[in-house]
Amino acid sequence: MKRRIRRMSFLLTMVTLVAASPAHVLKSALSVSAKLPADLDRGSSTAAQESFDPASYYRLTTQWQGDGKSLDVVNDGKNNWLVLARTDNVSGQFWKITSAGGGYYRLTTQWQGKGKSLDIVNDGKNNQPILALTANVSGQLWKITPQGNGYYRLTTQWQGDGKSLDVVNDGKNDQLVLAKTDNVSGQAWKITKIE
């Protein structure tokens, strides 16, 4: 019985210490204890460790289509439709990757600026990428997960890890879709800093 009382006393003391500790002390303690071994596969970790320069622009290409096709915005007056277009020196292919916190990023183009962000149309299918007016919505928060060999998987906070930005395999191979996550080269994105 004494052993049980001591254990209960210890637990109560720990709970009291945790409740009374400043948040930054707890966060620091949790961060240290949660570190992963250096040799562990980090393929499923978010890009929180990645260093995307918020002042720079990046080009996004897929492993499947290579460097010859880049994520671009169609210049049709609406300027919100996305395609994989022939790589060129155009501002619709220059993407800014800005941290939104919590391991998520907002993607905007040099051409349309901060006022329009990469988003997913909320139409019941919930799989059509679009450049939409920037808003505080989960379809505009992207997780950029390293896949190895310099490639990344792009998923939204809204649809989760089960759907990834992909290229439709239809012969044209330039239409984008948020598709069921799979180990396919159309979902492996190379993000290259534009110098």
CA-to-CA distance for 55 and 9, rounded, in angstroms?
A: 53
Per-residue pLDDT tens for 32-63? 222 222 332 334 444 444 689 999 999 999 99
The ranges of the chain annotated as CATH 2.80.10.50 are 47-193
Average pLDDT over the chain, rounded to whole?
A: 80
Q: What is the mean pLDDT for each group of 10 consecutive residues in the chain (195 residues)?
A: 39 36 29 26 43 95 97 94 97 97 97 97 95 97 96 98 96 95 97 95
Question: What's the confidence (pLDDT) of residue 89?
Answer: 97
CA-to-CA distance for 35 and 121, rounded, in angstroms?
A: 37
CA-to-CA distance for 65 and 189, rounded, in angstroms?
A: 10
**Class level of CATH domain 47-193:** mainly beta
Question: What's the whole-model pTM score?
Answer: 0.74
Question: What's the confidence (pLDDT) of residue 195?
Answer: 87
